[in-house]
Amino acid sequence: MPWQTQDFAADSGPTRYRESPLALGLRRILRKRSSRVALFVLGVIVLVGLLAPLVAPYNPAAQPDIVGLKDLPPSFAHPFGTDPYSRDVLSRVIYGARLSLMIGVLATIVSLTVGVAYGAISGYAGGILDAVMMRLLDACLSIPRLLLLIGVLVAWPNFSIGALVVFLGLTGWFGLSRIVRGQVLALKHAEFITAAQALGASRRRILWRHLLPNLVSPIVVAATLGVAHVIVLEAGLSYLGIGVPPPLASWGNIIHDGSDQGATLWWMALFPGLFMVLTVMTLNILAEAMSDAYERR
Amino acid sequence: MLRFVAQRLAQAAVIVAIVAVITFTLIHLAPGDPFSAVMDNPNVSEAVRQTLRVQYGLDRPLPEQFARYVSSLAHGDLGWSYSYERTVREVLGTALPNTLLLMGVALVGSFTLGILIALIQVARRGSVTDHALSGISLLLFSMPDFWFAILSLLAFTYWLPIFPVGGVVDPVMHEYLGLWGRIVDRLRHLALPAITLTVLASAAVARYQRAALLDVLPADYIRTARLKGLTERQILRRHALRNALLPIISLIGLSFPALLTGAFFVEKIFAYQGMGYAVVSAIGTRDYPLVMGGVIIGSIMVTLGSLLADLLYALADPRLRGR
Amino acid sequence: MTAPLLSIRSLRTWFYTESGVARAVDGVSFDIGAGETLGIVGESGCGKSVTALSILRLIQPPGRIESGSVIEFEGKDIVTLGDEEIRDIRGNRISMIFQEPMSALNPVFTVGDQVAEVARVHAKMSRKDAWDRAVEMLALTGIPDADSRARQYPHQLSGGMRQRVLIAMALMMKPALVIADEPTTALDVTIQAQILDLLVDLQKKIGTSILMITHDLGVIAETASRVIVMYAGEVVEEADVDELFAKPHHPYTEGLMHSMPHIGHDQERLNVIPGTVPAPTEWPAGCRFRERCPYSWERCESEHPPLYQIGTSHVSRCHLAVEPERRNHPHPPVVVEAGVAAA
């Protein structure tokens, strides 16, 4: 009978060449036009910041003529105008890019470190420690980040940029630690399932081989968004006067300097803000593209 | 259901307690004395300094200070604001309702507007309108709140003077206006800050709600609704929205912190005398008790907000109601 | 013979995907008569579900009905109807029940509301009247205590009950045709039997036709009066149910019959049809079953077989109809030989 069972190898279908999830994700991100544009714009801003000394037309701290050159609206000589101390706003914005971006990145690194550590420990430990840590986390989340920072920074009369970075970082890890904890928890349960197969030493290997790949994408997305948040936050704090100390230039600082008078000098509000919006927008676009790319596994 | 409420209230209480600990730690973690601005200031009267010493036990050991702190909090005593020369409670007490009004209007407005925008976007998926609205949402979402506020201040009070420049009410005329006049006056002063905050917040809501709707649309029960012969619009409004509203309720709880900080900036910029305005001015004068009072009240508001959102969610989702 | 209820001719529904055009339904034609139960049987990927969705124009992009016609009893072609007219048909004159009762009901509305909604939409009934009718319908489908059940939410009902709700929903407007797409596959075996009995019973009571789509020959045997076998987007055999089981013609149908395990037979291994369904983006030339067929020969590769008439109401898409002696020379199917080499 032709329908009796026969021994045959299962049909495996055409093989697709292996691609690391990282490469695949990257390709997907770059496929969207919005991501390419965002990456380009962000790249330009970063480059400008990095090369600030070469790009800025004037010294951002120079106050050449505090009587004659102050509060000038945009002109050819000063495309972004001058501030109440006769400093060139364009140069300050360029140096501001450098400072604000640097603060954003460094603070985010702090946040990532603390967040991953906290979440991993909490998830791995489990039990009472986990419960306590999570309650603590809830409480931290209940204090609006800006308020927390105001509370801390007002108490310190003169803090350095380093301290600012640390504080910004220490207030931004809450959400990420939750995500990390979730992954670790899921892994713990999976561990028990494969307990029979796992050898003593391979537990760590499983953790390494399974934990990290799953975490890379949420961490990268969180980091991107984190930088955006810190930039906005630092600007807000500088605007309130408790952020980057003068005479250094940061985007928020410049807006602060321009708001001292009743009617704001519009060019001092507009230009730093525009750069901020551009930077944050590009970061948001990239973060969204990244999370889209990795979700479609 | 009652058990759920009790549980969440207990949790909220625990959180507030932890917040108290955190704020206390903050006060004393700083190098130097947070009260030095007060204590060393020759303009501050001895009576005030004495009050502070007594209240905070500034010369006593730390644990005792903490105990005093907790007990004063329990009595609702938030300290003395030397810059306003009144108790913190008084200052914030008069300012808080203004902030609540502002936040309330912004909350309702932003969610309504955001949901509407999301519905329009989903109904015309892929069209120019959809892309344009997405772009605008992204733009507003990426804007720092204070910058947007400054721009709208410039735009609508300076260049196109439609709204009053600042304040909650007209400083001169308010008392002389009749009831209706007073309401209108308040509204005129509330309008720009509220609109600014609303527009910013609705961007986030629109993005979130759009994603939630798109998540719901491929669901099987949507297909069932289509099978029944409902129009796409009916399906969107009746079936998809109702399900997509559930995650939005969680968003209400999550948006309190952002609304609060947004309100802070908006109040400062528009000189709207709410809690944010008080706290921001306290920064300038280093009036630490007032700042901490603001932090505590702010945290309590956020906790309550998220509690309310959780309760609302439990009410709205029939799958949770049974418990 | 009375005019058929539904007349499908050369239906083609294609999906335009990144990996190519998937011709899920590629030239399907059949009739459904009034009051009869027509079964469509085939494995996953053969196009039976897509056919059903096409009848009600529920195909979403990237798929679309490429060509063909679906003529209903008033003579109108469903494929070309306007949106409003199609909505008038859905749930009203043709309705459908699906495989997954779990997720087919909206979790935030009561069961009664959802069933009543059909009447409110089509008959413009008042809330009360629609609700009463819904409760009636629920009771008819065998749900005990229908009135209080109707006030419950989907998550409070078992799978079998949810399916009954969906059946009630489908029958609210006493449609002329009910399409049942794997209605029992997701249910427990004992519930399966109950649901099938219910369908047959209701059909007699209300007089609707049923289009029963399934991969399970047992379900076909129990419910259908006529059967269509689909493979690779085409109809490969059509016959009355008894004839199909007694004298299957197409080698695919044969294979299906033989792969059914029989209780009471000693079997060491399950019989399977070797190989898998080809990808719908690349239907092979000639006969699409050729590579898995034990009887195929050169003609099968060069000539795509039409539907040959082999009995009064029995057709089969196989060249064996004109060269029946080839059935005496079975050989290992092409895919087996290729598979062994690729191992």
Per-residue pLDDT averaged across B110-127, rounded? 90
The pairing of strands C177-181 and C94-97 is parallel
A15 touching chain C per CB within 8 A: no
pLDDT, greater one: B282 or A60? B282
Give B 31-50 residues with CB within 8 A of chain A: 31-32, 34, 36
Per-domain residue ranges of chain A:
30-57+86-295
**How high does pLDDT run on average in chain B?**
81
Q: What is the pLDDT of residues A32-81, one digit of tens each?
A: 788 888 889 999 988 888 888 887 777 777 777 777 767 777 777 778 88
B175 to chain A, closest Cα gap in Å: 26
Chain-chain contact of B246 with C58 (C-beta, under 8 angstroms): no
Supply the pLDDT for residue B323.
Answer: 42
C122 touching chain B per CB within 8 A: yes
C127 touching chain B per CB within 8 A: no
What is the pLDDT confidence band of residue C336, given thresholds at 50, 70 and 90? Answer: low
Per-residue pLDDT averaged across B312-316, rounded? 83
Q: Whole-angstrom Cα distance, residue B296 to residue B19?
A: 7
Instruction: Answer whether residue B237 shows pLDDT above 50.
Output: yes
The least confident of A120-129, A279-288, B162-171, C310-319 is: B162-171
Supply the pLDDT for residue C104.
Answer: 87
Radius of gyration, CA atoms only, chain A: 25
**How high does pLDDT run on average in chain C?**
86
Instruction: Answer whether residue B1 shows pLDDT above 70.
Output: no
Is residue A181 within 8 Å of A123, Cβ to Cβ?
A: yes
Nearest CB to A151: which of B11, B138, B292? Answer: B292
Q: Mutation test of the interface with chain A: which of B145, B295, B301, choosing the one with the most A Cβ atoms within 10 A?
A: B295
Q: What tokens appear for C40 in the block? A: 């469509």
C109 touching chain B per CB within 8 A: yes
Is residue A32 within 8 Å of A286, Cβ to Cβ?
A: no
B233 touching chain C per CB within 8 A: no
Nearest CB to B302: which of A144, A276, A284? Answer: A144
Supply the pLDDT for residue A278.
Answer: 93
Q: Whole-angstrom Cα distance, residue B258 to residue A188?
A: 34
Supply the pLDDT for residue A17.
Answer: 42
Q: Count of B–C CB contacts within 8 Å?
A: 70
Domains, chain C, with CATH or none: 1-93+175-285 (3.40.50.300), 102-172 (no CATH)
Give A 204-223 residues with CB within 8 A of chain B: none
> Chains with 3 or more CB pairs closer than 8 angstroms to A?
B, C
pLDDT, greater one: B119 or C260? B119
Q: Which residues of B touch A96 (CB under 8 A)?
A: none
A235 touching chain B per CB within 8 A: yes
Q: Which CATH number fits domain A30-57+86-295: 3.40.50.720, 1.20.120.1780, 1.10.3720.10, 3.90.226.10?
A: 1.10.3720.10
Instruction: Answer whether residue C157 shows pLDDT above 70.
Output: yes
pLDDT, greater one: C305 or B46? C305
Nearest CB to B230: which of C108, C121, C169? Answer: C121
Closest A-chain CA to B12: A139
- For residue A85, how far is the Cα from the chain centroid? 32
Per-residue pLDDT averaged across C51-80, rounded? 85
* % residues pLDDT > 90 (chain B): 15
Supply the pLDDT for residue A191.
Answer: 59
Q: Mutation test of the interface with chain A: which of C258, C262, C292, choosing the one with the most A Cβ atoms within 10 A?
A: C258
Q: Which residues of A touch B138 (CB under 8 A)?
A: 281, 284-285
Residues in chain A with pLDDT < 70? 1-25, 69, 157, 189-214, 260-264, 294-297
A23 touching chain B per CB within 8 A: no
Nearest residue to C253 via CA among C302, C301, C293 = C293
Per-residue pLDDT averaged across C86-108, rounded? 86
CA angle, C287 then C291 then C296, to 5°: 65
Backbone angles phi, psi at A102, to 5 degrees: -60, -45
C108 to chain B, closest Cα gap in Å: 6
- Distance in Å from the first CA to the final CA of chain A: 44
Supply the pLDDT for residue B56.
Answer: 61
pLDDT, greater one: A55 or B202? B202
Q: Whole-angstrom Cα distance, residue A272 to residue A251?
A: 5
Supply the pLDDT for residue A18.
Answer: 45
Chain-chain contact of A6 with C330 (C-beta, under 8 angstroms): no
Instruction: Answer whether residue B277 shows pLDDT above 80.
Output: yes
Instruction: Answer whether residue B137 shows pLDDT above 80.
Output: yes
What is the pLDDT confidence band of residue C190, given thresholds at 50, 70 and 90? Answer: confident
pLDDT, greater one: C28 or A156? C28
Supply the pLDDT for residue C267.
Answer: 65
Chain-chain contact of A4 with C339 (C-beta, under 8 angstroms): no
The pairing of strands C177-181 and C209-214 is parallel
Supply the pLDDT for residue C266.
Answer: 67
Supply the pLDDT for residue C342.
Answer: 40
Supply the pLDDT for residue A277.
Answer: 93
Instruction: Answer whether residue C1 shows pLDDT above 70.
Output: no
